[in-house]
């Protein structure tokens, strides 16, 4: 059962934040919808330094995240990854999804930057389209909410 995020209940990020959004070039209409909802929520909660990067695919996300955390001053408060991996007839799907999750976790821990993974592993395109619909269940909203909440939490413990 889907649950909508109560965006109004998210904490405001007073003083702003810097967030990078990594987007896969595959399935651009789905990824763009995720991106639009994500940036809308981020801006509404005080994130005004948003930089978006279009990458060749999801497999490149860990590398790009690593580069951004090492070379892009000022430091990032979070990275959000948006993409779609569609299962086909081979094991390519599993290899891509597994390596993305493993690699992003490794980068996040090493760089001490939260990385939000909203890569949609789906078995048909309709599943991705449903998760990127123009409604309150769009996964871009969930990605933004997770970034806002973890940035807020980190500031509370610092």
Catalytic residue among 35, 53, 92, 152: 92
User: Residue with structure tokens 């209409």?
Assistant: 29
- Which three-class secondary structure state does DSSP give residue 11? coil
**b/e map 7-34, b = 16+ CB within 10 Å:** beebeebeeebbbbbbbbeebeebbebb
User: Residue with structure tokens 């090492």?
Assistant: 70
By DSSP bridging, strand 49-55 and strand 18-24 are parallel
Angle at 106 between CA 48 and CA 34, to 5 degrees: 40
Whether 152 sits among the annotated catalytic residues: the reply is no
For 27: left if phi > 0, alpha if psi spans -120 to 50, otherwise beta; the answer is: left
The 8-class DSSP code of residue 74 comes to S
Catalytic residues: 92
């Amino acid at each position: 059962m889907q649950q909508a995020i109560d965006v109004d209940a998210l904490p405001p990020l007073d003083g702003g934040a810097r967030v990078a959004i990594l987007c896969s070039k595959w399935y651009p209409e789905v990824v763009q919808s995720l991106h639009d909802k994500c940036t809308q929520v981020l801006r509404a909660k005080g994130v005004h330094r948003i930089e978006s990067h279009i990458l060749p695919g999801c497999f490149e996300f860990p590398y790009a995240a690593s580069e951004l955390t090492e070379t892009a001053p000022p430091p990032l408060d979070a990275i959000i990854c948006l993409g779609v991996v569609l299962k086909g007839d081979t094991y390519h799907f599993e290899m891509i999804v597994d390596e993305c999750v493993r690699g992003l976790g490794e980068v996040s821990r090493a760089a001490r930057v939260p990385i939000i993974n909203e890569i949609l592993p789906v078995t048909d395109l309709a599943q991705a389209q449903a998760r990127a619909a123009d409604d309150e269940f769009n996964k871009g909203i969930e990605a933004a909410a997770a970034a806002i909440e973890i940035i807020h939490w980190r500031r509370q413990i610092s």
